[in-house]
Amino acid sequence: MRETARGFYEAVPLPPFTCFFHPRDPLRYFNYAIPDEPTGGDLRGPVEALRAAFRERDRLLRFEYVEGFAPDLARALEDAGLELELRAPLMTVPIADVTEPALPPGFEIVPAGADLRAYLTVGRRAFGNGDEPEATDEEVEARRARNDVGTALLGLLDGEPVAVSAATPPLDGLTEVAGVGVLAHVRGGGLGGAMTAAAARDAATKGAELAFLAPGSDEAQSVYTRVGFRPAEVSLYYADPA
């Protein structure tokens, strides 16, 4: 997870953590810290250093990590004033076992490069309030310049961009399926499952053998379960009070 994040964000080491900052977007989910080691105990000093780094960039301090890697960290973060944002299962599936859902009528999945503006805009609205502004020319060009080898897909329903999904570049056969989003007015029709499976399959063509993800809700977990994902660990998300 740390190595993949380095390919997308500014990585700032503040031991025993590494901070990852999106270069332009302050959205809380795009800015977070990950522990470098199974740390715990009194971390008030290091956490204050992290707060200063996040405040300097006008970001909210957040943590994303796997509970089994640092089982004592949760108590330390709570003692330092952070609050549990989400406790979610970390789910995995061998890509060979991904269930192939039927595509809804009129639904087509294309590479994000076919319309980067739509990909960025749909992603923002799917995870926001739904009325966020369209992606700017600068954002589109920045995305185009990134030129990574991961997966980014756009879903079209009767030609309308309505869904997105992504998967990280495979590392040691692993890929994280992330950014699966569907616009509110078309949810519940199987689009999320189709986008999830498509992202995992595309990552397999790049060398991935096992996919993992962390659902943000019970509804999302149900979608991923239908595609073949099963709980394997626990992901924890902590944040300063907003």
Looking at the domain assignment, is residue 179 inside a domain? yes
Q: How many domains does the chain have?
A: 2
Residue 216's pLDDT band (cuts 50, 70, 90): confident
- Judgement on whether residues 163 and 56 belong to the same structural domain of the protein: no
- Judgement on whether residues 16 and 48 belong to the same structural domain of the protein: yes
Rounded-to-integer distance, Cα 231 and Cα 93, Å: 9
Rounded-to-integer distance, Cα 232 and Cα 139, Å: 35
The predicted structure's pLDDT at residue 145:
84
The predicted structure's pLDDT at residue 40:
96
Domain carrying residue 173: 94-232
The predicted structure's pLDDT at residue 149:
76
Domain containing residue 219: CATH number: 3.40.630.30
- Judgement on whether residues 137 and 201 belong to the same structural domain of the protein: yes
Give the residue from 27, 52, 81 where a domain finishes: 81
State the average pLDDT over residues 20-36.
91
- Judgement on whether residues 105 and 66 belong to the same structural domain of the protein: no
Question: Which token pair is 206?
Answer: 């790049």
CB 194 within 8 A of CB 101: yes
State the average pLDDT over residues 81-99.
96
- Say if residue 2's pLDDT is above 90: no
- Judgement on whether residues 76 and 111 belong to the same structural domain of the protein: no
- Judgement on whether residues 101 and 192 belong to the same structural domain of the protein: yes
Question: Which are the contacts of 25, defined by CB distance < 8 A and separation ≥ 6?
Answer: none
Helical residues (DSSP H) of the chain, grouped into ranges: 2-6, 44-56, 73-79, 116-127, 137-146, 191-204, 218-227
Question: Which token pair is 154?
Answer: 């756009």
- Judgement on whether residues 163 and 211 belong to the same structural domain of the protein: yes
- Judgement on whether residues 104 and 75 belong to the same structural domain of the protein: no
Give the residue from 47, 81, 115 where a domain finishes: 81
Rounded-to-integer distance, Cα 32 and Cα 22, Å: 9
- Judgement on whether residues 68 and 104 belong to the same structural domain of the protein: no
Looking at the domain assignment, is residue 56 inside a domain? yes
- Judgement on whether residues 178 and 114 belong to the same structural domain of the protein: yes
* Per-residue pLDDT tens digits for 161-174: 999 999 999 999 99
The predicted structure's pLDDT at residue 102:
86
Pairing state of beta strands 210-213 and 230-239?
unpaired
* Per-residue pLDDT tens digits for 115-133: 999 999 999 999 889 999 9
CB 192 within 8 A of CB 163: yes
- Judgement on whether residues 140 and 204 belong to the same structural domain of the protein: yes
Pairing state of beta strands 160-167 and 17-21?
unpaired
